[in-house]
Structure 1
Amino acid sequence: MNIILITPAPPGSRLGNRATAERWSRLLEQAGHHVDIVTEYNNEPCDLFIALHAWRSHQAVVRFRAKYPDTPLIVVLTGTDIYDHQHRFPDITHESMSLADCLIGLHHRVNQDIPERFTTKLTTVLQSADRPTAEPGPKEGFDICVIGHLRYEKDPLRAALAARHLPESSAIRVINAGKAHTPEWEHKALAEQDANRRFQWLGEVDKPAIQQLMNRSRAMVISSVMEGGANVVSEACRAGLPVIASDISGNIGLLGDDYPGYFPVGDDTELAGLLQRAENSPGFLGELVKRVTELAGGFTPQAEQASLLTAVERAIAGRARLNP
């Protein structure tokens, strides 16, 4: 099939949605399809239309459905769609969801977080990550990595604030890799780095540098206040890197209800306690390693491709039922 995939993230962007679009393009082309990634939709025909973002891609979704009523349409629900836009802009977001033949959610709890009338359309596609090319070397100290752009949704300085609560004897350092989305976030990160000897901000770095950071880290913190299913969790699981995560739906939907490494969202005191436990209890850290290693098989490219092709099949079948 000829597939158009629209994403608001432009070529060259390191935003997660661009990475998802490009990875899905490769997986679909490996399965024999042709994919055009676009950031603006100009009414071109195709055999299948995939829209990343229900809210941001709303105009394209509406135009496509009006012009091509017989062509299958998939809408991908991002974290901001589910946990922000559908509440602030319900008419727009839900219209995109209503027009879709298949909805894609990126974690296992999306069905609990969208209106029940849409859950029959939902297919879960867990984002994959490649296995690291290099084995982790000896680790010095006790570095904790935070990987993600500096913006409100990520609560990116929470681990740094937690590190302020640690005793003098702790060897923990928090290393943050991610681009500041605004000058204000850059100022906050630099000010925290100046004031907090346990915190270092690397800014935006490339993929090899991210892998090196993961390799030398003892654990990763993902402290987001909202997530649609963060790819960095997939990467950590594939690397065997323990994850300490905020207890939001998007993290629980990837790591499981009984994962032992959660802290209440926004609570740096509780996070500090978990960091200390990871540093001082080999048994606890070992349990986190065991859990992420067990989850790693769900985040392979093969598993993601199979789920993506299931979504394609469901979209085609759904459209066929409406247009016999």
Structure 2
Amino acid sequence: MRPDSSTPTLDDVARLAGVSRATASRVLNSGTTVHEDKRRAVEAAVAKLGYVPNHLARALATQRAGVVALMLPENEDRIFSDPFFSQLYHGALQGFTGSRTRVVLSVSQPGDAPDAMARYLSSGHLDGAIVASHHGWEIARQLHATGRPVVFIGDPGISGAPYVDIAQEEGVRLAVDHLVARGATRIATITGPLDMVVGRRRLEAFRDTLADHGLMPVAAVAGGFTREGGEAAAQELLAREAGFDGLFVASDLMARGALRALRRAGREVPRDLLLASFDDSVIATESDPQLTSVGNPAPELAAEASRMLRAILAGEAVDSPCILPTRISVRESA
């Protein structure tokens, strides 16, 4: 079936712009070797004619799907309860602004095979992926092993895998130094999942920073990076070591849960103990008391990961890891 005669074609665009069909095609496929006046002429012709590119034809011509995924190996409940993930998606979208690439969200589903995300990445439906919140090393290893372009947010623990992160150890040091400066000497921690590199690194940095102050950690309990996990971990801490006067919580969401457990036990922050957390998310400013928290800028991390992925897709070399600085926001909790 031939296109309707009223439907503008690429030939029509080229004719109106006064360029060859090949030049018009390069402009529409984000080619970088087209002279600026010809690019403007093609874009003006597209606007005047109302031309809509045939994305299937473009995909066949460029061997590109025109789609990348933000992959989050977490269930939907976890993703939609933590603002960190929505900020990651927003940052990824911003990072691909101005390109012809769509960003889709891929999350774990109940019953998914362990290699489901790797198979999706290898299916031909994606040009590449940005991956965050990777537990253990198996999923990260599988994705890296596909040979497809992948950039991780957070250290995946795989040699040669490109990733972007914040200065994790420095962030923990800022939090613990602040607690000590405010007078805390018996400091406990609620960690993230210890099957995640970030969970282990923050715990190690917590211990190292206390040692630099000549202090020993009172206790460490994993909280799973969830509000419920933070609440349960705080209850366990109170049962084991009720006398701690400082608490470092490895995420704002866990800190909100910990505050509930502490308040139930009659321990008020900051009257009875000081609390510092990590992420500096909207949760930090909405909590009562507001949380002293170390920044973990999700939009910036995702935007930088997008920049790296775009460079890889363009055949360019990237410097990895890319480590972003962080800072502490001092509020009511410490």
Q: Give the TM-score range, shorter chain.
A: 0.3 to 0.5
Q: TM-score, normalised by structure 2?
A: 0.37
Greater C-alpha radius of gyration: 2
Q: TM-score, normalised by structure 1?
A: 0.38
